[in-house]
Amino acid sequence: MAKSKESFMINRPKDEVYRFLSDPASVGDCLSFVEATEENEGLRWQVKSPMSTITATNSLALEFRAAPEGEIEWHGQGSHLETRGQIILRESAEQETEAEFTLGMTGLGPMSIVIEPLASVQISNQIAYFAACLRGKLETN
C-alpha cells in the first residue's frame, strides 16, 4: 500500500471545515482521481480517466464516516483499486484549522504490479492537490 500523511492549515474555523468535509461529494471534489459521487445502489466515487484506464477501475464502492469531533474516514474499493483516507481536524487559532490527512492507495489483484509503483510516486501530489482544492473552496468565501 502506498501511504502518506501530511498536515496543512486552512484559514477557516474547524466547524466550517468539518461541515464541508462531512459530505462525501465535497471530499470527492477535492480528490484528483474522483470524477463524481453517486448514491444509486450505494455510495460510489466514479474514477476519472486516465486513472480509471490505468487501474482498470471505473468506480469505487464507498464507506464514509464523519464523526462530530472532527474525524472523517473513508474506504473505497473497486475491481483493482482500493483507497483509504482519514482527516483529523484540530482547532489551531480562532479562524484556523489544522488538517492531518492520511491517504492510502492499494492495487488489487494482477493490476497491483502496475498500480503500487504509480501510487507510491503520486500519493504526495494527491495530498497537495487535496489541500489546495480545500483551501480554494473554503478560503475564497
What would the pLDDT profile of 44-80 be if each residue is shown by its tens digit?
A: 999 998 889 888 999 999 999 999 999 999 999 999 9
Residue type, 138: L
User: By C-alpha distance, which of 26, 119, 138, 128 is closest to 72?
Assistant: 26
Give the mean model confidence (pLDDT) for residues 80-102: 94
pTM beyond 0.85, yes or no: yes
More confident residue, 138 or 141: 138
Q: What is the mean pLDDT of the chain?
A: 94
Residues 111/112/113/119 CA torsion (nearest 10 deg):
110
CATH code of 14's domain: 3.30.530.20
State residue 138's pLDDT score. 96
User: Domain range spanning residue 101?
Assistant: 2-139
Q: Which of 51, 121, 37 is nearest to 80 (CA)?
A: 51
Highest average pLDDT, of 15-19, 105-109, 113-117, comes from 15-19
pLDDT band at 102 (very low <50, low <70, confident <90, very high): very high
In the chain, the amino acid numbered 96 is E
Could you give the number of structural domains in the chain? 1
Residue 104 banded pLDDT, cuts 50, 70, 90: very high
